[in-house]
Amino acid sequence: EIKGLIFDLDGVIVDTAKYHFLAWKKLAQNLRIPFTESDNERLKGVSRLRSFEIILEIGGLTMSEEEKEKCCTEKNNLYLEYIYQLKSDEILPGVRKFLSDAREKGYKIALGSGSRNAKLILEKLEITDLFDVIADGTIISQAKPDPEIFIKGAKLLELPAESCIVFEDAAAGIEGAHAAGMYAVGIGTAENLPKAEIILPGLKGITIKDIINKLQIHIK
């Protein structure tokens, strides 16, 4: 029986990809690396450091670990300038309603995001109180597709993995959910997320009951 719902943040609850893009773009420009919006697609769901390594690969550059660390800090400072301006109405359509309805029905809700800015973003969206627990980038040592973040999320909820489902927009997150022993709801397209048990374009007009019904059909 499903009792817990674990939500990715970036791309599921809020579209932060555009702000990540603007920050990475500024950093790439300083390094004279061409960086486009289509390159940015490759960074969705990818850790901060790995994202920067992909950008370095695009530019054909190499750097010491220390230099990479410095650039990642610089990128995050640029990113935070956008996040400080984030407005609560930037929450993706249907998300607030989905979360409050699920909570009312007794489901436990966790955040499962690799972002180290997750708590600030939830505050900005004014939805911190809709989460029972928060598993974010500050408590993990392995980024998705490693299942660590979801395993920690379930542990914080005090639920076994098989009682939890994950909501994810990135293929690496779907992989991580499965490795944790959880079903995954993909937010996106079947083309991008072929492994998800359920695929939805977003949470608008969807209730937890719809998800549970679809899952029952799927696992029969």
| Site for Mg ion contains 10 (CB under 5 A) | yes
Residue span 57-76 as binding mask against ligand BG6, x where in contact by CB under 6 A, dash where not: -------------------x
Binding residue (CB under 6 A) for ligand BG6 from 6, 13, 14, 43? 43
Residue with token string 């492994």? 195
| Site for ligand BG6 contains 20 (CB under 6 A) | yes
Residues 62-90: b if buried by 16+ CB within 10 A, e if exposed = eeeeeebeebbeebbebbeeebeebeeee
Residue 189 DSSP one-character state: -
Residue 132 annotated in active site: no
| Site for ligand BG6 contains 10 (CB under 6 A) | yes
Q: How many residues bind ligand BG6 (CB under 6 A)?
A: 18
Q: Is the dihedral of CA 99, 151, 183, 146 positive or negative?
A: positive
Binding residue (CB under 5 A) for Mg ion from 95, 161, 170, 208? 170
CB closer to ligand BG6, 179 vs 212: 179
Q: How far apart are CA 161 and CA 109, in angstroms?
A: 13
| Site for ligand BG6 contains 188 (CB under 6 A) | no
| Site for Mg ion contains 8 (CB under 5 A) | yes
DSSP structure string for 7-61: E--BTTTB--HHHHHHHHHHHHHHTT----HHHHHTTTT--HHHHHHHHHHHHT-
- Catalytic member of 8, 15, 136, 210: 8
Interacting residue ranges for ligand BG6, rule: CB under 6 A: 9-11, 20, 43-48, 51, 76, 113-117, 137
Active site residue ranges:
8, 10
